[in-house]
Structure 1
Amino acid sequence: LRAMKFPCTIDNGATHSEMRYLAAVCKATGEARFREGFAKGVRYLLKAQYPSGGWPQFYPLRPGYSSLITFNDGAMIGALSVLDGAARGRAPFDIIDLSLCQECMRAVERGISCILRCQIRDGKQLTAWCQQHDELTLAPAQGRISELPSISGAESVGVVRYLMSIKSPSPEVVEAVEGAVHWFRQAAVNGVRVVTVADASLPGGKDRRIVEDAEAEPVWARYYEIGTNRPMFIEQGVVKYTLAELSHSHRTGHGWIGGRWPAGLLAVDYPAWREERTKNRD
């Protein structure tokens, strides 16, 4: 790792997944080396956090979009969730000393504040989050050429689930959850299915299409245009509004639409969260 220029990342579960494993092994064995390894990971995440409260994809910072605050692929939420568990002394993360716990709590508070400030507004209406946000202004930001500033129908689900995990949420957190859930319902695409069909004339012998189906369950797009809420299909930085407009390689090479990411949140998690809040008020 020391020989690599940019060795450390929280992308695709990296670092925080290993920290979860170290914490679990420490609880199972009681060996100090696993506790020390977990504590090193905690200090790394604390050091990597921006003053604005977010986390970049890589730290030390790598030039380009990797230095943006990264919700993509669960990066920031994965890191924040581990620190949250450590800050609140939840097993198996209850293995660090009090001073480090206190540092974690301050980092968690900054992280939650960052999430709330990053939430995209459409006029007065709260919506959800972009895959990446500027680390200074917190505005939605472009990642790769196919990841234009937009509202994410996928990554936003993990953000909402994290906010719903907060015990005794502030009014601002409650408002953020309610706003995002309202947006998920508005953003659902009804009456269609995304299908893969055989087509011997095309590379790989298949194509991907959207077909009408009145009985189909709601699906969501990966990217929504800010201000119009239209699903976006992006090729070489150019926005298109139907899957059919993309080249074959782009139609079949990316999950632009058809995901069910918010379905479980809307059907199970959110109603349970509302019920729990009602009980706590009674």
Structure 2
Amino acid sequence: MHATRRLILASLAAGLALPARAADGPSRAEVLATMKRATAFMTEKAAVHGGYVWSYLPDFSRRWGELEAKPTMVWVQPPGTGTMGHLFLDAYHATGDEFYYAAATQAAQALMDGQLPSGGWNYLIDFGGEASKADWYATTGANAWRMEEFQHDWGNGTFDDAGTSEAMQFLLRLYLEKRDPRFKPALDRAVGFVLNSQYPNGGWPQRWPAGRPFTVHGADYTGHITFNDDVAGENIKFLVMLNQTLGDPRAADAIRRAMDVFLITQQPAPQAGWGLQHSLPDLKPVAARSYEPRALATHTTATNVEQLMNFYELTGDPKYLARVPEALDWLARVALPEPRNGRTHPTFIEIGTDRPLYVHRRGSNVVNGAYYVDGGPEKTLGHYGAFRAVKVDALRRRYETLKATPPEKVAASSPLVHKGPLPRYFANQDLATSDLNGGQSLAPLKASPDEAARLVASLNAQGWWPTPLVATSHRYKGPGLATPTPGDYATTHVGDAYDTSPYPTDRPVMGISTSAFIKNMGLLIGQLDAGV
């Protein structure tokens, strides 16, 4: 989802302005009944072979993942099938009701059915078969101007957008729940995917194994060491979970090498940052998609600094803090003179000069359109942020706190040392993504009594929470025209009528949102956990 994670963060509309039931909120029985009715609708009406996309029209005549989906498709990208599986497990933990465990197993079956021979996953699964999927890629996918990862089916698995990570973390949780052997082969294949795809230096490519080549900037970017969307961090998270629970002897070495790749790819001072991706074998920042030039990336650098501090907490090894000050000094130096709408930094910084690089586009669709880079900050892309909010002072304060904490103390409770159970809840604890309509699910979540009452009251007669679908897309109507359509599409999320990319609409219709379901269920789970 890359920039799409932050593309359309609409206000959650499931909490409609309905009167609260009472000061103390709904009863436990009412909360349980609401949760069960909402889940029954999703499993019986919305699910396809146990899997889910992101949003649906009420009559299911149209449905969307990151792009419009066929009726036979489910989405692996969060908040899709794996995230729904996490939520069902959370509900099972909160209620003890086997109904939710059964829903989780159905989601797992969808993922297992769509797991690739390599052990990983693509962004989506099409239960209509290979011909149906090929048709989608040749039509909807190929004409989504800015969605270059969907313009080709490379025939391999991807670490992009946390889809594979979410799926394998969910399968691990589900297997641990009852040690049911039917989930172990798929989990083992997923573990193999992570271990086999890791480079000797510890990094991971975006996609693996190498598929049919796709050329952008004259090269196939998918094999480069990838930090974009925290690919390495998500894989480390899974391996830590694996080490913590099953004690897989292969995990510890893979984790150490993965953490060390952050060290060896950090660029020399005075530009001590990182790019979205780094090449082999020279470990230099490289270009990726057409709107991701060869450059240092400020938001990626901030994320990697946070990860290095996390690694210090995991290991107590001071090497992970050693060059953090250099990165923070560089981030401070390249900050904008004045923030722009709360954004403090340009996204991309030119290597060697510290000059901001800004990405623009011309044309109207994937056929006649093109991206280009210059130093002008005006009329930048609407679908990919030209500016980022980087909290350098907060990062520096955390660094100073960790630097003053003895290694043996900071890592005293590290899951690399202490084996034990995973957290009780996942779906709303570590989910920072959106289905483009339901807002972001953020953690930890617990409804107030009034809010819980509204959630109970606003579940409609069919069993879903009405949510304005503020994102839509053009239906596929044929290949884009070679001549640009009149108009200015430089800053819009979508091009002309031939562009199938998602875009925000000022005339939303009410529909079914997967992320709204996940968030609302999480709020009600919080109510139960609080003793309602």
TM above 0.5, yes or no, is: yes
Q: Helix, strand or coil: the match of 2:373?
A: strand
Q: 2:24 matched to which residue of 1?
A: none
Match of 2:382 among 242, 247, 252: 252
Structure 1 residues 61-118: Cα deviation after superposition (integer angstroms, max 9, x where no partner): 133111111111222221123223433x2xxxx13xx4xx332221222222222111
- In 2, are the aligned partners of 1:52 and 1:135 still within 8 Å (CA)? no
Contact 1:126 1:176 in 2 (8 A): no
Q: Which amino acid aligns with 2:351?
A: I
Q: Distance in 1 between matches of 2:280 and 2:190?
A: 22
Note the C-alpha offset of 1:10. 0.3
Of 184-193 and 55-64, more deviation after overlay is shown by 184-193
| Displacement after TM superposition at 1:277 (Å) | 3.8
Tell me which amino acid in the other structure corresponds to 2:229: D
Of the structure 1 ranges 169-178 and 104-113, higher mean CA displacement relative to structure 2 is found in: 169-178
Match of 2:344 among 219, 233, 236: 219
1:51 paired residue among 170, 179, 200:
200
Amino acid at match of 1:274: E
Match for 1:57: what amino acid?
Q
Q: Is residue 8 from structure 1 mapped to residue 157 from structure 2 by the alignment?
A: yes
Residue identity opposite 2:232 in structure 1? M
CA contact (8 A) 2:355 2:375 kept: yes
1:151 to 292, 296, 311: 296
Match of 2:236 among 56, 80, 102: 80
**Is residue 119 from structure 1 mapped to residue 266 from structure 2 by the alignment?**
yes
Does residue 243 of the first structure (1) align with residue 351 of the second (2)?
Answer: no
Is the Cα contact below 8 Å between 1:6 and 1:59 reproduced in 2? Answer: no
On the 8 A contact 1:81/1:162 being kept in 2, the answer is no
State the partner residue of 2:406: 280
State the SS of the aligned residue for 1:252. coil
Query: Deviations for 1:180-237, whole angstroms, at most 9, x for unmatched residues?
Result: 222222222142424xxxxxxxxxxxxxxxxxxxxxx561121111222222113457
Selected match of 2:273 from 128, 138, 141: 128
Q: Any conservation in 1 of the 2:321–2:403 contact (CA below 8 Å)?
A: no
Identify if the C-alpha distance between structure 1 residues 169 and 228 changes in structure 2 by more than 3 Å, giving closer, same or farther: farther
Task: Give the Cα–Cα distance (whole angstroms) in 2 for the partners of residues 164 and 11 of structure 1.
Answer: 23
Match of 2:227 in 1: 71
For residue 319 of structure 2, give the secondary structure of its aligned residue in structure 1.
helix
Deviations 1:153-172 (A, max 9, x none): 12223222221112344343
Contact 1:57-1:69 within 8 A present in 2 as well:
yes
Rounded to whole Å, the distance in 1 between the matches of 2:267 and 2:371 is 21
Q: Which residue is equivalent to 1:21?
A: 170
Cα distance in 2 for partners of 1:36, 1:158 equals 33
Structure 1 residue 51: Cα displacement: 1.9
Cα distance in 2 for residues equivalent to 1:42 and 1:138: 26
Q: Given the alignment of the two structures, is residue 184 of structure 1 paired with residue 309 of structure 2, yes or no?
A: no
Larger mean CA deviation between 181-190 and 128-137 belongs to 181-190
- 1:65, 1:175 → 2: CA distance? 30
Aligned mates of 1:273, 1:69 — CA distance in 2? 26
TM-score w.r.t. length of structure 1? 0.75
* Structure 1 residues 133 and 25: alpha-carbon distance in aligned structure 2, compared to 1, 3 A threshold: same
Flag the 1:131–1:5 CA change in 2: closer, same or farther, 3 A.
Answer: closer
Structure 1 residues 28, 158: closer, same or farther in 2, change over 3 A? farther
Higher relative contact order (CA closer than 8 Å, sequence separation 6+): 2
RMSD between aligned residues: 2.6
SS at match of 1:165: helix
Equivalent in the alignment of 1:40:
189
Q: Which stretch has the larger CA shift, 229-238 or 57-66?
A: 229-238
AA at the equivalent of 1:107: A
Q: How far apart are residue 15 of structure 1 and its match?
A: 0.8
Contact 2:202–2:261 (Cα < 8 Å) also in 1: yes
1:175 aligned partner: 322
Matched AA of 1:225: E
Cα shift at 1:33: 3.4
Distance 2:292 2:400 in 1: 33
**Quick one: distance in 2 between partners of 1:115 and 1:24?**
28
Spell out, residue by residue over 1:93-146, the C-alpha distance to the aligned partner (whole angstroms, 9 max, x if none): x13xx4xx3322212222222221111124xx3621101111222111121233
Mark the CA change 1:138 to 1:279 in structure 2 (over 3 Å): closer, same or farther.
closer
Matched-pair identity in %: 23
Residues 59, 182 of structure 1: CA spacing in aligned structure 2 closer, same or farther, 3 A cutoff?
same
**Deviation at 1:55?**
0.6
Q: Distance in 2 between matches of 1:218 and 1:85?
A: 34
SS in 2 for 1:51: coil
Q: Which amino acid aligns with 1:160?
A: V
- Relative to structure 1, the CA distance from residue 251 to residue 218 in structure 2 (aligned partners, 3 Å threshold; closer, same or farther) is closer
* Aligned residue-pair number: 241
2:164 maps to a residue whose letter is T
- Give the structure 1 partner of residue 479 of structure 2: none
Does the 8 A contact of 1:52 with 1:136 survive in 2?
A: no
Counterpart of 1:255, as a letter, is G
1:234 paired to 2:359: yes
Counterpart for residue 201 of structure 1: none
